[in-house]
Structure 1
Amino acid sequence: MVIPSMEKSNAAVCRLRRYAFPLVCFLWTSFSLALWVLNDGIHIKQFQPPRPKPVPQTYNSSIISAVDMGISDEEWERLQKSLDWPMPDQEITHLNQSTSPVHSTFSIVGLKESYKVGENISVIIRARDHNDKLKRYGGDFFKAKLFNSDLKASVYGEVVDHHNGTYSVAFRLAWEGQAHIHIRLEHSSEVVQILKKYRESSFPRSHYSGYFEGSGPNKTRISEVVECNLKWGADGSWRKGDCCCEHKDIRTGTVWQCVRPKKLSCDKLVHHSLGRFENPLNPFEQQLFTKKLTNVAIRGDQNIIHVLPNTTAIGTVEKCRTGTMTPVPSGFYLRDVWKSFVCNTRQFSSAQMGNCLKNKIVYLMGDSTTRQWFEYFERNMPGIKRLDLHTPRTGGPLMAVELKNNTIIHWKPHGVPLRFTKMLITDLHYISNDIDEIAGGHHVVIVFTFFAHLVFHPITFYVYEVAKIRQSVVALLSRAPETIIIIKSGNTAGLKNIFQSDWYVLQLDTVMREMFRDIEGIIFLDVWQMTSCHYLREDIHPGPIIVANEVNMLLSYICPT
């Protein structure tokens, strides 16, 4: 991960006249013109979300109001600043101008013969192009970690961009013994520029399938499969003309569009599933995305770092609670056990797990990464049984109960857009709507994640959806402040293409943190670092060892010591 320098000013400050509602600056200034860009025969229309009305009207309107969005222009400026990412200072027309993982290097600053546990060590990264010239601008997406394979130990390193082709990393030495540095170029700044371009365009990189079913003549059964997508683009639509059926969620205002079936009416939409990908890259852009240039380890100082014991403990005895900040690093692995710097996490036995969740109702919401937690409880919690809800085993919704301790665990996928296998559209609920229907209380635990399936769509839509979730969370905490609400961060996925990239997830993760940072009573579980520094291959579905550590951290917040 690369954190751009905070000194860089935010160029996207609203300079137009003020309107009745502050969000107009967000929608009007940031995306004021619909520009057509010719991209090797593919027309990309610059994204422009629906313009808000100065006076909010009913939900029957297809136009999103500032009141509905729940975000001010000041907050949007803050989000823009946090999302700001350096870009090339010139037009890149040749591959040799891009960052080369072969020529880029790192070095340890002031390496000493030995260190003590708890000290920091500094590393400088120098990005060079394919002609071995030092880059003069930033924007490269590096990932860094310190590790010891024999001890199964590792810690995450945050990369800071200095906007001149150099980057720095400060590693915390967390264990006694040897340590080695590993740094890789995830994406060059030139590739990040491409990722950003298509994220902010209305080009539909991901499509979905809608299954319409109904009765025809003589009561024969008719089925039609059509293409569907989100209604959110330069003109509020992913297709032109009167092409589509519109399915609007009354409470969130989100509109889902499906191509109008030839034989059936729009109200016959029954099932939903993932659909095709559509690649917008031109030949030159495809060259920049090749495997030999993406997710490649760079050369550097191979000296072994020797770490001696320290009589001063570097851990923490603070209880896991709401409101604790997430430092960098937030913890480290040692012998495959995650040791948190945030609070006193512990390993739960099966019996302890059951006691912790006694008389609890746990709602896991989001995607398949929270389903992994549901499956972990199912495997490891004594006496728990999954009920047959006659839903897909991996698609859900799912429910398990443990009668002795009166524990109920739910898992539900979030609403569309969602790239799952075929399932009932009525089983896909927006997280904000589900939270609105929970009474809350000291016996209720709500965990949600909302990242992996949103990387295909404009970030402004993500901001809109997160604002809706935030409204629901604030309302729930108002009526039941003792409710435990946990946000599971996005995790690294090991996918480095135009469709799904960790850079996309990192940007969404930044939005989520920013929009919830001032909300009291929230717990933010940082699994980004846990999945970034482990020795297992990065995967959208982390391995069992990582999932076990994630669940133990979750339980440490539910049942702090």
Structure 2
Amino acid sequence: MKKQFVAIACFSAAILFVYLHLKWNTLNPSHVYLPARGVTYLTEETMRYGTIFVPSLMADPIKSRIYLKHAHKVYNLGDQVQVQIDLYDRNGNHKKTGGDLLRVWMENPERAALVSGRVADFNNGSYTALFKAAWSGRATIKAFIATRREEIVLSYMIFQKYGSLWTLLAEYQANNLTDATQCSIRQEKSLKNEWCNFTKENDGYSYYCRKSKIKQLTCNTWSHSYSSYGLYILNTTEKGIQRLSVEDPKKTIFYRVQ
């Protein structure tokens, strides 16, 4: 039982780590070669209050563009290769906001050579990626939208409301009776008497589960906890945005530079 609780606590901590990673996942150009404007990513205010989700205004890999900046016919080993990335929405309009998480890399499959680029977000729909020429021969530069801005904001909104991106459940069992209720790392103070407090069992990490409506199933009859994905309430648009994360990554790879 203890291991199950620890796993849930670790998962919650992992979500916070992902958020912090995303928040600082841009290149800090104060000590390198990119413009100072590249520091900004999603602000806490944006993450906390979200945005109006309009699918047609989301970044579209088919409409987006990638091209070399200060292109040379030949690059020498160790040279810096700079790439400009401009994101466009489904209507073909240049995006005015940043926050889309991009992955950019340069490769030569025949030589089994690959190097990732460091991305700076200008917070206006444009990004710069920087590589270092690491081998002799041809190279192809590819980019794809790993996570759209709207996906990140939606995940943050879900986490703020439910305390997890997964639905946490507790199962109670006694006298051939079984019931499951929803859990959270936080409890609504106004409903304090309706929660079972399992913080102590969870090694001191906050963990609360709704009491069963079956009177015989008290907090002491808790059997185990488990998680299920997507039981929280989302509208049709939000469900569509959430599914973007599990799409074939090849669909989000856009224009290549050779």
Q: TM-score, normalised by structure 1?
A: 0.34
Which of 213, 229, 235 does residue 282 from structure 1 map onto?
235
Q: Map Cα deviations across residues 443-494 of structure 1 (whole Å, 9 max, x no partner).
A: xxxxxxxxxxxxxxxxxxxxxxxxxxxxxxxxxxxxxxxxxxxxxxxxxxxx
Superposed, which structure 2 residues align to 1:384-463 within 5 Å?
none
1:3 equivalenced with 2:26 (yes/no): yes
SS at match of 2:71: coil
1:249 equivalenced with 2:200 (yes/no): yes
Specify the alignment match of 2:110 in structure 1.
Answer: 150
SS at match of 2:237: helix
Q: Distance in 1 between matches of 2:166 and 2:246?
A: 24
1:259 equivalenced with 2:210 (yes/no): yes
Identify if the C-alpha distance between structure 1 residues 140 and 205 changes in structure 2 by more than 3 Å, giving closer, same or farther. Answer: closer
Which of 217, 220, 224 does residue 178 from structure 2 map onto?
224
Specify the alignment match of 1:269 in structure 2.
Answer: 222
Contact 2:140 2:256 (C-alpha < 8 Å) held by counterparts: no
Q: Distance in 2 between matches of 1:265 and 1:252?
A: 21
Q: Distance in 2 between matches of 1:292 and 1:259?
A: 30
Deviation (angstroms), 1:123: 0.5
Q: Map Cα deviations across residues 139-181 of structure 1 (whole Å, 9 max, x no partner).
A: 2221111222223332222211012221000012233433211
Identify if the C-alpha distance between structure 1 residues 145 and 236 changes in structure 2 by more than 3 Å, giving closer, same or farther. Answer: farther
Deviation (angstroms), 1:255: 3.1
1:84 equivalenced with 2:37 (yes/no): no
Q: Distance in 1 between matches of 2:67 and 2:120?
A: 15
1:169 equivalenced with 2:129 (yes/no): yes
More helix by share: 2
Deviation (angstroms), 1:203: 6.9
1:95 equivalenced with 2:55 (yes/no): yes
1:200 equivalenced with 2:160 (yes/no): yes
Contact 1:187 1:293 (C-alpha < 8 Å) held by counterparts: no
Specify the alignment match of 2:4 in structure 1.
Answer: none
The code of the aligned residue for 2:231 comes to: E
Superposed, which structure 2 residues align to 1:239-388 within 5 Å?
240=191, 242-249=193-200, 253-261=204-212, 262=214, 263-275=216-228, 277-289=230-242, 291=244, 295=249, 296-301=252-257, 303=258
How many residue pairs get aligned? The number is: 221
Deviation (angstroms), 1:250: 7.3
Identify if the C-alpha distance between structure 1 residues 178 and 166 changes in structure 2 by more than 3 Å, giving closer, same or farther. Answer: same
Specify the alignment match of 1:180 in structure 2.
Answer: 140
Q: Distance in 2 between matches of 1:287 and 1:227?
A: 26
Deviation (angstroms), 1:300: 3.7
SS at match of 2:157: helix
Deviation (angstroms), 1:297: 0.8
Specify the alignment match of 2:75 in structure 1.
Answer: 115
SS at match of 1:227: strand
Contact 2:66 2:86 (C-alpha < 8 Å) held by counterparts: yes
Specify the alignment match of 2:33 in structure 1.
Answer: none
Q: Where in structure 1 are there 5+ consecutive unaligned residues? A: 11-80, 217-221, 304-561
Please report the RMSD computed on the Cα atoms of aligned residues, expressed in angstroms. Answer: 3.8
SS at match of 1:111: coil
Contact 1:100 1:293 (C-alpha < 8 Å) held by counterparts: no
Contact 1:120 1:173 (C-alpha < 8 Å) held by counterparts: yes
Identify if the C-alpha distance between structure 1 residues 236 and 150 changes in structure 2 by more than 3 Å, giving closer, same or farther. Answer: farther
Identify if the C-alpha distance between structure 1 residues 289 and 267 changes in structure 2 by more than 3 Å, giving closer, same or farther. Answer: closer
Contact 2:58 2:90 (C-alpha < 8 Å) held by counterparts: yes
More strand by share: 2
Contact 2:163 2:185 (C-alpha < 8 Å) held by counterparts: no
The code of the aligned residue for 2:195 comes to: C
Q: Distance in 2 between matches of 1:178 and 1:103?
A: 26
The code of the aligned residue for 1:232 comes to: R
Deviation (angstroms), 1:107: 0.3
Q: Distance in 2 between matches of 1:202 and 1:4?
A: 31
Which has the greater radius of gyration? 1
Identify if the C-alpha distance between structure 1 residues 174 and 197 changes in structure 2 by more than 3 Å, giving closer, same or farther. Answer: same
Identity of aligned residues (%): 18
Identify if the C-alpha distance between structure 1 residues 87 and 101 changes in structure 2 by more than 3 Å, giving closer, same or farther. Answer: farther
Deviation (angstroms), 1:113: 3.0
SS at match of 2:151: helix
Q: Distance in 1 between matches of 2:45 and 2:254?
A: 21
Q: Where in structure 2 are there 5+ consecutive unaligned residues? A: 1-21, 30-35
Q: Distance in 1 between matches of 2:44 and 2:144?
A: 19
Deviation (angstroms), 1:96: 2.7
SS at match of 1:150: helix
Highest RCO, 1 vs 2 (Cα 8 Å, sep ≥ 6): 2
